[in-house]
């Protein structure tokens, strides 16, 4: 049968049984093809194997193991830092951040694509209606009594109404695989949204704690500068009394100016962090407010890590990569379906009349049923190339998935190592800071007694200030490592949150 050729329409009562037999044969043939297609799975059943390990390498001694409840969603994980202002600001990121909004729009787009592909399972119905007015005119006509020839013309109007339907059964799983690919892509988009939200929240919380650390450093510098100003005044008085040298005054001025310059630089850094926070919260800096406040430097939550295999369920970037592997796998089935014959079933009914009142008269109704088969005989290897392209795309997605898993394991190992090292560093920095403060005070007292030169005081002051700032920085680094651990573990997200399409 030629493609697109409908079954003959009976024109006499005795032809109807023959037409019914032909329609029945076509229906049986279509049913047989559908049954054959139902047994054909063209998408290879292949699942990418992810690298894993029985335990993490860098787990420090005494590290808290994960309890079953630790695998559940932590919700607003930033509350672990026990900061009321942070608890109030952080939720704005998921609502107002524009990168998150773009990822959310991508999810909506991918879900719409699933619905679009799923619609191919159903027949397509069409309705058309029209009216046509035509006429025929000529110069020849009748002759009047005065001998003048007049022209005559004839016009007609025709009304039409038609209803059509067509359906291409999914014999070889092309549509099913297309829907599967779209569904997997939609789930990957949902995981991307979760990853974008987590990334923005991690950056926001990190910037917030950095702002609070800057506030603490600014306060410490301001206190130090006040001490330097008093030291300068004492030195000037001693110089005026001919007890100290001019070089002592110059050194005191130098120390004070350097500390003031450090303060100005720190305020600039604080302003830049504040501006970044405003953007992350979806606001312009002028509309965002964050006055100076206290910093809970000692609050460093311990984040249980569980087993390495847990990452495969808890990290949204891993879930996204795995879902893209599934989509690429389904696309192989879509490409392979092009090797096989396609069947299209069609039905049409139409009515036409020169009068609108007769349009729905049964005698003017015409109908047709059709079935067509199509198969590509030669395409120069295009289908084979498309299948090979889909297979190569699958291999690429598998490699990217495995790389994502490896990087996830490395990120957790990094934070485990950092947590152990920074805890040790903080203890040592605290001892160094306390010793430096005592040395500074002792040198100032000895200088007032004339026992040491002012250069010794300057050296002690610089060491004490450096030690205080180093202690603050390592305290911030510990908190940042805890935040990065939350991020490395997926923030409490799990694959159970993916929609089942």
Strands 124-138 and 365-374: unpaired
* Most confident range, picked from 154-158, 331-335, 358-362, 458-462: 331-335
- What is the pLDDT at residue 145? 55
Spatial separation of the C-alpha atoms in residues 289 and 267, rounded to whole Å: 15
Does residue 66 lie in a domain region? yes
The pair of structure tokens assigned to 394 is 């699958």
- What is the pLDDT at residue 1? 37
CATH number at residue 254: 1.20.1600.10
Q: Which residues constitute the domain of residue 252?
A: 50-122+171-340+382-497
Q: Which range (38-52, 258-272, 295-309, 413-427) has the least confidence?
A: 38-52
Higher pLDDT, 38 or 422: 422
* Helix (H), strand (E), coil (C) string for 465-487: HHHHHHHHHHHHHHHHHHHHHHH
Does residue 27 lie in a domain region? no
- What are φ and ψ of residue 191, in 5° steps? -65, -35
Q: Which range (142-146, 330-334, 397-401, 460-464) has the least confidence?
A: 142-146
Report the chain's C-alpha Rg in angstroms: 40
Does residue 139 lie in a domain region? no
Alpha-carbon torsion, ordered 493, 495, 499, 501, to 10 deg: 170
pLDDT at 18 > cutoff 70: no
Does residue 418 lie in a domain region? yes
Alpha helices in 281-380 (DSSP H): 311-314, 316-336
- What are φ and ψ of residue 495, in 5° steps? -65, -15
Sign (positive/negative) of CA torsion 425, 426, 427, 431?
Answer: positive
- What is the pLDDT at residue 407? 93
The pair of structure tokens assigned to 75 is 């919700």
Does residue 266 lie in a domain region? yes
Higher pLDDT, 158 or 217: 217
Higher pLDDT, 296 or 37: 296
Average pLDDT over residues 95-107: 94
pLDDT at 385 > cutoff 90: yes
Helix (H, G, I), strand (E, B) or coil at 280: helix
The pair of structure tokens assigned to 182 is 């779209």
Spatial separation of the C-alpha atoms in residues 109 and 130, rounded to whole Å: 36
Q: Which residues contact 369 (CB under 8 A, 6 or more apart)?
A: 6, 7, 23, 26, 346, 347
- What is the pLDDT at residue 480? 95
What element of type H or E holds 152? strand 152-167
pLDDT at 46 > cutoff 70: no
Does residue 457 lie in a domain region? yes
pLDDT at 468 > cutoff 70: yes
Helix 246-280 and helix 174-240: axis angle, to 10°?
A: 160
Does residue 30 lie in a domain region? no
Is residue 39 very low, low, confident or very high in pLDDT (cuts 50, 70, 90)? Answer: very low
Is residue 149 very low, low, confident or very high in pLDDT (cuts 50, 70, 90)? Answer: low
Spatial separation of the C-alpha atoms in residues 238 and 227, rounded to whole Å: 16
pTM of the model: 0.80
Sign (positive/negative) of CA torsion 410, 413, 417, 422?
Answer: positive
220, 93 contact by CB (below 8 A): no
Give the chain's domain count: 1
> Looking at beta carbons, which pairs linking 65-70 to residues 24 or more positions away fall under 8 Å?
65/304, 65/306, 66/304, 66/305, 66/306, 66/307, 66/310, 67/304, 70/304, 70/306
Average pLDDT over residues 376-393: 93
Spatial separation of the C-alpha atoms in residues 443 and 465, rounded to whole Å: 14
Spatial separation of the C-alpha atoms in residues 284 and 161, rounded to whole Å: 59
Q: Which range (57-61, 155-159, 305-309, 436-440) has the least confidence?
A: 57-61
Q: Which residue has the tokens 């495969």?
A: 312
Beta bridge partners, 347, equal 165, 369
Spatial separation of the C-alpha atoms in residues 96 and 283, rounded to whole Å: 8
Query: Distance from first CA to last CA of the chain, Å, rounded?
Result: 39
Strands 152-167 and 342-353: antiparallel
- What is the pLDDT at residue 58? 62
Does residue 294 lie in a domain region? yes
């Amino acid at each position: 049968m030629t493609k697109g050729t409908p079954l003959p329409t009976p024109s006499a009562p005795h032809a109807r049984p023959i037409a019914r037999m032909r329609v029945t044969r076509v229906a049986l043939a279509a049913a047989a093809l559908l049954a054959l297609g139902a047994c054909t799975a063209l998408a290879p059943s292949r699942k990418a194997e992810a690298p894993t390990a029985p335990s993490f390498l860098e787990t420090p001694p005494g590290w808290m193991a994960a309890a079953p409840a630790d695998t559940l969603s932590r919700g607003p994980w930033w509350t672990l830092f026990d900061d009321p202002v942070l608890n109030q600001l952080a939720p704005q990121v998921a609502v107002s951040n524009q990168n998150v909004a773009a990822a959310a729009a991508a999810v909506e787009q991918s879900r719409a694509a699933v619905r679009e592909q799923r619609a191919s399972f159903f027949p397509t119905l069409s309705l058309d209606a029209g009216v046509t007015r035509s006429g025929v005119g000529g110069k020849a006509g009748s002759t009047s009594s005065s001998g003048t020839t007049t022209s005559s013309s004839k016009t007609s109007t025709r009304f039409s109404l038609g209803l059509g339907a067509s359906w291409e059964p999914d014999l070889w799983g092309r549509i099913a695989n297309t829907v599967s690919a779209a569904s997997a892509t939609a789930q990957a988009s949902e995981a991307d949204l979760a990853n974008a939200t987590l990334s923005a929240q991690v950056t926001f919380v990190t910037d917030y704690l950095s702002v609070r650390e800057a506030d603490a450093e600014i306060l410490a510098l301001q206190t130090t500068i006040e001490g330097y100003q008093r030291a300068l005044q004492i030195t000037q008085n001693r110089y005026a009394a001919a007890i100290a040298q001019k070089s002592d005054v110059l050194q005191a001025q130098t120390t004070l100016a350097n500390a003031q310059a450090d303060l100005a630089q720190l305020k600039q850094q604080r302003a830049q962090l504040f501006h970044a926070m405003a953007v992350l919260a979806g606001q312009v800096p002028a509309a965002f407010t964050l006055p100076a406040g206290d910093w809970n430097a000692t609050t460093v939550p311990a984040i249980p890590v569980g087993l390495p295999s847990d990452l495969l369920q808890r990290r949204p970037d891993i879930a996204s990569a795995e879902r893209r592997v599934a989509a690429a796998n389904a696309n192989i089935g879509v490409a392979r379906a092009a090797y096989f014959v396609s069947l299209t079933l069609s039905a049409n009914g139409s009515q036409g009349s020169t009068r609108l009142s007769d349009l729905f008269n049964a005698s003017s109704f015409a109908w047709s049923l059709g079935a067509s088969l199509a198969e590509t005989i030669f395409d120069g290897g295009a289908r084979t190339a498309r299948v090979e392209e889909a297979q190569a795309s699958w291999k690429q997605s598998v490699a990217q998935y495995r790389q994502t898993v490896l990087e996830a394991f490395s990120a957790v190992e990094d934070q485990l190592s950092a947590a152990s090292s920074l805890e040790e560093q903080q203890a040592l920095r605290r001892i160094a800071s306390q010793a430096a403060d005592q040395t500074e005070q002792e040198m100032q007292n000895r200088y007032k007694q004339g026992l040491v030169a002012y250069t010794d005081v300057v050296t002690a002051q610089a060491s004490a200030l450096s030690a205080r700032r180093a202690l603050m920085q390592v305290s911030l680094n510990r908190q940042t490592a805890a935040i990065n651990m939350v991020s490395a573990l997926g923030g409490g997200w799990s694959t159970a949150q993916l929609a089942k399409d």
